[in-house]
Structure 1
Amino acid sequence: MVTTAGTLALLHTSPVHVPVFDGLRDRHHPGLVLRHLVDEELLVRARDAGPEAVGEAVAAALAAAVADGADAVLCTCSTIGGVAERQAGALGVPVLRVDRPMAAEAARHRRIVVVAALRSTLEPTVALIAEESGPDTSIVTTVVVEEAWERFEAGDREGYLDAVARAVDGAPGDDAGVVVLAQASMADAVGRMTTRRLVLASPRPGLAAAAAAVAAARAVTSGR
């Protein structure tokens, strides 16, 4: 357990992420202050017009978080994570996407199955894995859990997680390789699965990377 002083702002596109990250903070990063920014409209617009369409809105939200004292920012939405990450230079603080550490782990494997509840999440997730794998290109198969997002939007969390678990258990391929859960909201489905494949979810490694970024930023500031 690592105690981390400092403040991390989290940009969410659903309020369901707030208790998840609070719980992870309490277990693994006591002392880290989390400030949650929830804007569901960002994902709606990104699905309709593409992630770049929300670039200005994301930049404004992150700038406000930094002005409010955030030492770093973590975007928990895979669809707009790349848009958020590119704001780091302008903001002067670390800006992380929650799925990068997960993608880096996945890229170590030759065969990868990416499971998503939203088609808009597939392209940025697959692109991120390709970026992390470099010349050692992995074989990536994608699966969209068509009925899952409707359950999520209806507030049927149990049905959503069950649908994700069934999709992972029925995903093509054998026990080799790894399964990537493209959205942070899928993480709690892991305990409902029977697959023998390694299943990767983004919240815990994503928060750990962000906590490390906060600690590094605080160390630089205190050393001035």
Structure 2
Amino acid sequence: MPTLGLIHNSPMLAAVFNEIAARVMPDDVKLLHFVDESTIKNTIAAGYLQKSTMRQVIRLVGSAFDAGCDVAMVTCSSIGRAVDMAAELYDQPVLRVDRAMADKAIATGRRIGVVATLPTTLGPTAELIRRVAMEQGRDIEIVEHLCEGAFDAVMAGDGATHDRIVGEGLTRGMEGVDAIVLAQASMARVVASLPEGAVQAPVYSSPELGMQRAAEVLAGLKAREAGR
């Protein structure tokens, strides 16, 4: 049975990815969830991705493979650099949840907006888009927007303030862009709540696109195995 290991920084994400898997994954794919909240909490506290957290991410990826996973995908964008390192250390596929989102945005247009509620996520997401564009020989411009105060509001239980700040970022902060990338998947529900036409550009979020990419990778492994 093909097995996908999902490495999360919050236990709440397991249900989110189970729901997406039910729509985009073949019935024979098995999911295993691995959760370690320290990876994001330590990154936020430090303000950057520490070496100790990088080592922990690499260990988590190894644990997924030790548990029998064929592919591992890390669902947090803030620790993407550690995922890239893990991909070089293991023979099995190691995926970033936001890579497919970056590919999609770059294919859509030249001026790409990146919206985040945390600087520790904004920077790595913008860096990924720049790197992917360079790999593909694309000339792009990135417009970064940090929704200041939104993260603190949602952590304090004030979802309405979070949604208002993010909504303003998606509308006024993203005028004139060709595509919008959500650095955090939690912002996707704000897009759905805005009036039709309020956001002028296509908006891309990582979980759905990431899971579609994981399904493609698993299908490729299965095909190669069948061809042996």
Superposition deviation, residue 49 in structure 1: 5.7
Superposition deviation, residue 124 in structure 1: 1.3
Superposition deviation, residue 161 in structure 1: 4.0
Q: Deviations over 1:28-69 (max 9, x none)?
A: 214222111111110122231632421111111111110101
- 1:29 maps to what in 2? 25
Q: Does structure 2 conserve the Cα–Cα contact (< 8 Å) formed by 1:162 and 1:192?
A: no
Note the aligned Cα RMSD (angstroms).
Answer: 2.0
Runs of 4+ with >4 A deviation:
155-159
- When the two structures are superposed, what TM-score results if normalisation uses the length of structure 2? 0.87
Question: CA separation in 1, counterparts of 2:50 and 2:69?
Answer: 24
Question: CA separation in 2, counterparts of 1:6 and 1:158?
Answer: 40
SS of the aligned residue for 1:149 comes to helix
SS of the aligned residue for 2:175 comes to coil
Instruction: Give the direction of change, closer, same or farther, for the CA distance of 1:49–1:144 in structure 2 (3 Å limit).
Output: closer
Superposition deviation, residue 155 in structure 1: 4.8
Question: CA separation in 1, counterparts of 2:90 and 2:6?
Answer: 15
Question: CA separation in 2, counterparts of 1:212 and 1:158?
Answer: 37
- When the two structures are superposed, what TM-score results if normalisation uses the length of structure 1? 0.88
Question: CA separation in 1, counterparts of 2:84 and 2:156?
Answer: 30
Determine which of 37, 40, 44 is the counterpart of 1:43: 40
Superposition deviation, residue 23 in structure 1: 0.7
Determine which of 120, 132, 148 is the counterpart of 2:150: 148
Question: CA separation in 2, counterparts of 1:222 and 1:155?
Answer: 50
Question: CA separation in 2, counterparts of 1:69 and 1:163?
Answer: 42
Question: CA separation in 2, counterparts of 1:38 and 1:170?
Answer: 35
Superposition deviation, residue 115 in structure 1: 0.2
Determine which of 13, 20, 31 is the counterpart of 1:17: 13
Superposition deviation, residue 163 in structure 1: 3.4
Q: Deviations over 1:75-99 (max 9, x none)?
A: 1110112311321232221111011
Amino acid corresponding to residue 192 of structure 2 in structure 1: G
Amino-acid identity (%):
33
Q: Does structure 1 conserve the Cα–Cα contact (< 8 Å) formed by 2:24 and 2:215?
A: no
Amino acid corresponding to residue 93 of structure 2 in structure 1: P
Q: Does structure 2 conserve the Cα–Cα contact (< 8 Å) formed by 1:72 and 1:95?
A: yes
Question: CA separation in 2, counterparts of 1:43 and 1:76?
Answer: 11
Instruction: Give the direction of change, closer, same or farther, for the CA distance of 1:38–1:155 in structure 2 (3 Å limit).
Output: farther
Amino acid corresponding to residue 193 of structure 2 in structure 1: R
Q: Does structure 2 conserve the Cα–Cα contact (< 8 Å) formed by 1:100 and 1:206?
A: yes
**5+ residue gaps, structure 1:** none
SS of the aligned residue for 2:78 comes to coil
- 1:102 maps to what in 2? 101
How many equivalent pairs are there? Answer: 219
SS of the aligned residue for 2:114 comes to strand
Matched, 1:203 2:199: no
Question: CA separation in 2, counterparts of 1:124 and 1:216?
Answer: 28
Instruction: Give the direction of change, closer, same or farther, for the CA distance of 1:67–1:168 in structure 2 (3 Å limit).
Output: same
1:101-140 equivalences in 2 (<5 Å)? 101-108=100-107, 109-134=109-134, 135-140=137-142
Q: Which moved more, 1:145-154 or 1:192-201?
A: 145-154
Question: CA separation in 2, counterparts of 1:58 and 1:125?
Answer: 17
Q: Does structure 1 conserve the Cα–Cα contact (< 8 Å) formed by 2:148 and 2:165?
A: no
Instruction: Give the direction of change, closer, same or farther, for the CA distance of 1:45–1:94 in structure 2 (3 Å limit).
Output: same
